[in-house]
Amino acid sequence: MQNKKTSVLVLAQCDLTMRETLNTRFGTQCAFTFAENGEHPTAEQLRAAAVIFGEPSEAQLAQTENLRLLQLTWAGADKYTRMENLPQSVVLANASGAFGTIIAEYAIGSLVALYRSFGRYWSNKQAHIWQKYDHAETISGKTAIVLGMGDIGANVARRLKVFGAAVLGVKRTAVSAVPADFDEAHTLDALDALLPRADIVIGCLPNTRETAGLLTAERLHAMKAGAVLVNVGRGSLAGTDDLVSALQDGHLGGAALDVFETEPLPADCPLWDMENVLLTPHIAGPSFGGSADVQNTIWHICMDNLERYLTGNPLKNVVNRSEGY
């Protein structure tokens, strides 16, 4: 008797080439249903799915009956760790490892743009104004605190080191040895002692109970006067009002913000009009339709975990639901 194929529901954007790759590699073991690009999976497809690639809604998850593996195409998993309709029997895995390079380049590019007043020059270009600004700084010689030492934090640290910065890493759990890309490694309880050393703070943390509101008004002001904040992790890291205050009173020299406490950022938020703030709408880590390199890496992660699921080997990138990542 022929074994029943594993039902795999693909909600992520999947072009014809990738569909062929999935069917060629796994077609003898899996039956694929592709329901992305605005197509809504049927209740029958949701009930049948043992594996889902992508990000189903909570209502869709409530309709699943046979789901065993939810493989996200995002690195952040906090939306799902908070869901009540995701049974404990379902293994939740993320796409950590796909976004480190592109987000690290965003962080470095933002720092260079702030230090060289590129925002001002862009505005002047639009207005046809020829004006020079004398003030310029370098990453070299700065002390940077990287909050989060996972894939994204490590990639940021590696590039900061190349630019000549001293890099202090901060994470939730202790490390037995300092990773190669960092000069120091600390746990969160050391943050208050570290912040007065910081010329740069880069947030790469997930959204958890421990990280939400971590950068309080007091901690923002504990950084060196003129320090720069870059946040590419989660907007819950710092309250919007606290950020606005630290920028308006001149303590922070600038900020590059890709994530916010409220998204979309309200139109009346003062951050929009601050000359020393670079603001982007949560695009530091583009994937499907945004970056072919990231997209290909995501699919590699998905296929690797599907292979592991089918062969009974340990899965990668399994999310710890109690910790939120």
Q: Which residue numbers are catalytic?
A: 234, 263, 282
- The Cα–Cα gap between 292 and 282 comes to 18
Task: Give the β-pairing of 200-203 and 227-231.
Answer: parallel
Task: Tell me the two tokens of residue 153.
Answer: 């934090």
3-state secondary structure 246-264: HHHCCCEEEEEECCCCCCC
Q: What is the dihedral of CA 302, 74, 112, 262, to 10 degrees?
A: 180
Specify the pairing of strand 6-10 against strand 30-34.
parallel
Q: Are 267 and 242 in contact (CB under 8 A)?
A: no
Which DSSP symbol is given to 212?
T
- Tally the residues of the chain: 325
> Does residue 297 contact residue 97 with C-beta atoms inside 8 Å?
yes
